[in-house]
Amino acid sequence: PRTTALIVAAGSGLRMGGGPKQYEPLGASSVLAQAIDAFLRYPGIDAIRVVIGPDQHAAYAVAIGDRPLPPPIVGGATRRESVAAGLAAVSGDRVLIHDAARPIVPAAVIDRLLTALDSNDGAVPVLPVSDTLAAGGETLGPVTPRAGLVRVQTPQAFRLAAIVAAHAAWDPANEATDDAQMLRAAGGTVATVQGDPALDKLTHPQDLANARSRMLVVRV
């Protein structure tokens, strides 16, 4: 089957501060380029498409360097809209939708996702929750039992027709934080496979600092 990696990189990084985090330096390249390279290295990926913000062409060009990629797709005001813009430009059988803000993509996770996709419309990497979950505020609120809860990461793997239909059926009055919940809402089944802490999203400044120091350790 023909498989495309669709990387959404059109966000503005408000929680990180300091501009779109996906173009920040990381290791020998950038946050975005690290994610791209994982898919370039993976033998089963036939195409890579990147979705960027309308004012991000210059930062994108610097971040990807001389990597051989088709022109970027311009995204929208929300992640959901950026994915939809990307999906409109994808063809083939399968798509792996990935956040550029998750630069380290282990090949073993892609292996597990693509295997699960043989018998499901979608597959996502998950990890158990290890902290106590409770309502926040000035004082602590009620606890949500964490047993059975998981953290859902990307890449998320889908049969292309199924995720395109789920996006088309989604009520745009609601925002979705990922694509798997949209496929579920449309009645599709989403398999869970083991995720990886290396896939955790860079959201706050400390996340990028941690990723940089881990990379230094790996590169020594």
- Asked if 79 touches ligand CTP (CB under 6 A), the answer is yes
- Asked if 34 touches ligand CTP (CB under 6 A), the answer is no
- Burial class from Cβ neighbours inside 10 Å (0-12, 13-18, 19+) for residue 12 reads middle
- Asked if 26 touches ligand CTP (CB under 6 A), the answer is no
Residues 6+ apart with CB under 8 A from 218: none
Please choose, out of 8-16, 107-115, 157-165, 189-197, the segment that lies near ligand CTP by the rule CB under 6 A: 8-16
Q: How far apart are the first and last CA of the chain?
A: 38
- Asked if 181 touches ligand CTP (CB under 6 A), the answer is no
**Residue number with CB closer to Mg ion (14 or 133):** 14
Distance CA 205, CA 112 (A): 30
Please choose, out of 6-14, 104-112, 115-123, 159-167, the segment that lies near ligand CTP by the rule CB under 6 A: 6-14
Task: State the nearest-atom distance from the C-beta of 11 to Mg ion, in Å.
Answer: 5
Please choose, out of 3-11, 51-59, 179-187, 207-215, the segment that lies near Mg ion by the rule CB under 5 A: 3-11
Q: How many residues bind ligand CTP (CB under 6 A)?
A: 22
Task: State the nearest-atom distance from the C-beta of 53 to ligand CTP, in Å.
Answer: 7
Residue linked to tokens 């501009």 = 19
Residues 6+ apart with CB under 8 A from 135: 141, 142, 144
Upper half-sphere CA count for residue 163 (Cβ side, 13 Å): 33
Residues 6+ apart with CB under 8 A from 78: 175
203: partner contacted, choices ligand CTP, Mg ion, none (Cβ within 5-8 A by kind): ligand CTP
Task: State the nearest-atom distance from the C-beta of 62 to Mg ion, in Å.
Answer: 22
78: partner contacted, choices Mg ion, ligand CTP, none (Cβ within 5-8 A by kind): ligand CTP
Site string for ligand CTP, 87-106 (x = CB under 6 A): ------------xxx-----
Of the candidates 96, 205, 199, 93, the residue with the CA atom closest to the CA atom of residue 151: 199
Phi, psi angles (nearest 5°) of residue 151: -95, 130
Specify the 3-state DSSP secondary structure of 11.
Answer: coil
- Asked if 75 touches ligand CTP (CB under 6 A), the answer is yes
* Chain positions contacting ligand CTP, by CB under 6 A: 8-16, 22, 51, 75-79, 82, 99-101, 201, 203
* Chain positions contacting Mg ion, by CB under 5 A: 11
